[in-house]
Structures are given as structure tokens and as C-alpha cells.
Structure 1
Amino acid sequence: MGRALLIVDVQNDFTEGGALAVEGGDAVASAVSAYLDAHAGDYEVIVASRDWHDAEGDNGGHFHPEPDYVDSWPVHCVAGTEGAAYDPLLDTDAVTHHVHKGQGIPAYSMFEGRTESGETVGDILTGAGVLQADIVGIATDHCVRASALDAIAHGVQVRILTDLIAGVAPEQSRAALAELAHAGAVLVESREA
């Protein structure tokens, strides 16, 4: 039974100094790199996602000049910009698949994205015989939550490595983790994984 590591949106616009900075984002990037250094060999596949929004238009209402920070947001992670790049503290050498999501549309789950060759995360996991996945990244209360729920819906046993995630709002992040636990995800620190 194969295992995957899913790294969600560890990008410059979501870490300190970015357009939608999440407190602790740089620390997550560094910690995920250290974890990969020690554990990359434990995984059949390592998939990293990035928001990759179109520069033109509002990306299906995702970008808004007066965002509500629920369904609409300031401009962020525009394809090919520095904001959309991986945080430089994240070492991506062990990543086997890179996924772009949100091209012209709102997208939170990495399962909504595709690789350059057109594969979805579901395709990648099925093709590798993966039935278990560990999920890390940003933000707990948005894209980590959505990606984990989609992984569970795909029939994958999910562990959230709770010391390798960062959320936008503490209360929303706690609620997201509770929701994921109720959906069947295991919440565990990486040293216990």
C-alpha cells in the first residue's frame, strides 16, 4: 500500500511578505524541507501544488478589488510571477509531480489542479497505487482543508502533519482540523508519523 506526501501551496504569496501572507508560512517551508530531507524515501510520490492564477480577468470572481476573504481575494499567485513561485525555503528537489490550480477559476483543492502533462492528483495517486497520504502546507483553513477532504473522497487514508501546516485564522484552522478529523483524517505531528 503506497503512501504519498501532498505539499499544498507553499508559495511566496502565502508566506511572510506575500500578498496573502500566512503567519508561520516561512517556518512551514523550512520544516517541510527538513522533513523531506529525512523522509522523502518513505513516499511513492511527492506532489506539490501551486495556485497559478491568470493575470487577466478576475479568475471566475476569485480576484476582487474589495475581497470578502471567504470567496474573493486580492490578486495573488499570478502565473509566472514571484508571488506564485515556491517559497525559497522549500526544497523541491524530491517533488515528483508539480500541480498548478486555479487557472481562470477559483480552486482550493490540489485535486482541482493538473500537471503540465495534464494529470490530476487523483490520476497520480491511482497510478502509483497510493492508498495513504500525508498532507502538509498552507493554509490549514482553506487549501489544506479542501485538499484533504478531496483526498478522503478519493478513497485515500489521510494524515495531517499538524506541525507542517499554517492557517490564516486560528479559530477557523481549529474548526478545519476538527472537520477533517470527523471526516476520517488522522491528526499527527511529523515526528510521530
Structure 2
Amino acid sequence: MTKALFIVDVQNDFTEGGALAVEGGDAVAERISAHLAEHADEYALIVASRDWHDAESDNGGHFHPEPDFVDTWPIHCVSGTAGAEYDPGLDTSAVTHHVKKGQGVPAYSLYEGTTDDGRRVSELLEEHHVLDVDVVGIATDHCVRASALDAIEHGRRVRILTALVAGVSAEASERALAELAHAGAEIVAGEGPQPSA
């Protein structure tokens, strides 16, 4: 197998009820779990990322009391808090590598994170000879976009499974998907089962 799945930032602070809630986040968590139940054995690596910001700093200006929601944000995903944990609808039992990013600095791409033993995603992909990457998670117009663009830049063939992503803004998400398609990603509509009601 030469394929990996990136599960980007499916965390409590980015799903309903969180500090930076994205509409449809809980449903995406459930759909990713259903996708894993059917397809986990097709991936050589399943990498899940989490924002994991420092509590005692502004994380390089990432946190701001008057955020612009472009470069600065309200406090979210503080390490060790419930907001930083995975959404309870996401089954992480098949995840092979957990990555934490934004530890004291702004970080959007999963490539900017490290595993608990300090390894980078680029190393993991090389080690497992991964050529193809499916990208799912939150938010389409921010961290999903950044992670997918980095995967393309690192020479991987990328698919965005649009049934398994949720964005902050519909317009910005459409722009992000168009940008990703222009950069070479395959935009796959309707991939993945629907969650149970």
C-alpha cells in the first residue's frame, strides 16, 4: 500500500459547541469514522492532527483578544483541555500516528506538526513510500487546505473527499477547493457513507 489518510483537526473546539465551531463538524466526525470502518485497511498510514496550543502564551500572535479570523483567532485547542481533544464522534482506533501542531506558534498544515516522539509527517510518508494522500477533516478553508497544499508540494497525489470535510465559510471553502484543484488535487464528491441519524 502506498496511500495515506490525513484526518485534519477533528477536535471539540472545531465542532458544534466549541470555541471555533464549524457547522457540520460533528457529522463529519461520524462520516470519517464510517469511512475508516470500511476503508482503514486501504491505508499504509492514517495520520490525525490536532491543534495543541500553549496555555501560557499567545502562540506567536495566533491568539488575540480582537481576532480578525484570518491570521488571529480566539483562544482554542489549548493543550490538555477538552477543546483540544478529538470530537467524540471520531473513532481514532485505526489512527497510526497522532500529530500535534501549533505548540507556541501559528500552524495550519498537518506537516507543521510532530508525533509525540518528535517525528514529522514528511518523514513518515517517505519511510512508508506513500505516494497518494486522501485528506479529510476541518476546516476546508484553513487547515485542510494548508495540509493538502503541503502534500502536493511534497510531490504526493492528493484527493480531497468532500463528504468528509467541513468549512468555516461556504464561499471560502469553494475557493479553497478550486485552488486545490488548480494545484493538482482531485476533488472527490460524495465519498464516504452518511452518518446514522
Q: Provide the rounded CA distance (Å) in 2 between the counterparts of 1:127 and 1:117.
A: 15
TM-score (norm 2): 0.96
For residue 130 of structure 1, give the secondary structure of its aligned residue in structure 2.
coil
List per-residue Cα deviations over 1:139-187 (Å, max 9, x = no partner): 0000000000000001100000000000000000000000000000000
Tell me if 1:166 matches 2:166. yes
Report the residue type matching 2:180 in the other structure. Answer: L
Q: Tell me the TM-score normalised to structure 1 length.
A: 0.98
Q: Residues 98-155 of structure 1: CA distance to partner in whole angstroms, max 9, x if unpaired?
A: 0000000000000000001111111111111000000000000000000000000011
Secondary structure in structure 2 of the residue aligned to 1:180? helix
| Aligned residue in 1 for 2:96 | 96
Mapping for residues 1-193 of structure 1, pairs under 5 Å? 2-189=2-189, 190-191=191-192
CA distance in 2, matches of 1:44, 1:143: 22
Distance in 2 (CA, whole Å) between partners of 1:128 and 1:28 is: 27
| Aligned amino acid, residue 33 of structure 1 | S
What's the C-alpha RMSD, in Å, of the aligned pairs?
1.0
Give structure 1 stretches of 5+ with no counterpart. Answer: none
Q: CA deviation at 1:8?
A: 0.1
Counterpart CA distance in 2 for 1:154 and 1:181 is 16
Gaps of 5+ in 2: none
- Tell me, in whole angstroms, the C-alpha distance in 2 between the residues paired with 1:95 and 1:84: 17
**Shift in Å at residue 57 of structure 1?**
1.1
Question: Aligned partners of 2:164 and 2:192: how far apart in 1?
Answer: 11
Whole-Å separation in 2 of the counterparts to 1:101 and 1:168:
19
Letter in structure 2 aligned against 1:48: A
Taking the aligned partners of 2:127 and 2:118, their CA distance within structure 1 comes to 14
Residues 26-56 of structure 1: per-residue CA shift (max 9 Å, x gap): 0000000000000000000000000000001
Q: Percent identity?
A: 70
Q: How many residues align?
A: 192
CA–CA distance in structure 1, aligned partners of residues 51 and 124 of structure 2: 18
Say which SS state the counterpart of residue 132 (structure 2) adopts.
strand
DSSP-derived class of the 2:56 partner: coil
- Cα drift, residue 191 of structure 1: 4.7
Instruction: Note the alpha carbon deviations across 1:60-118, whole angstroms, 9 max, x for none.
Output: 00000000000000000000100000000000000000000000000000000000111
CA–CA separation in structure 2 for the residues paired with 1:61 and 1:191:
37
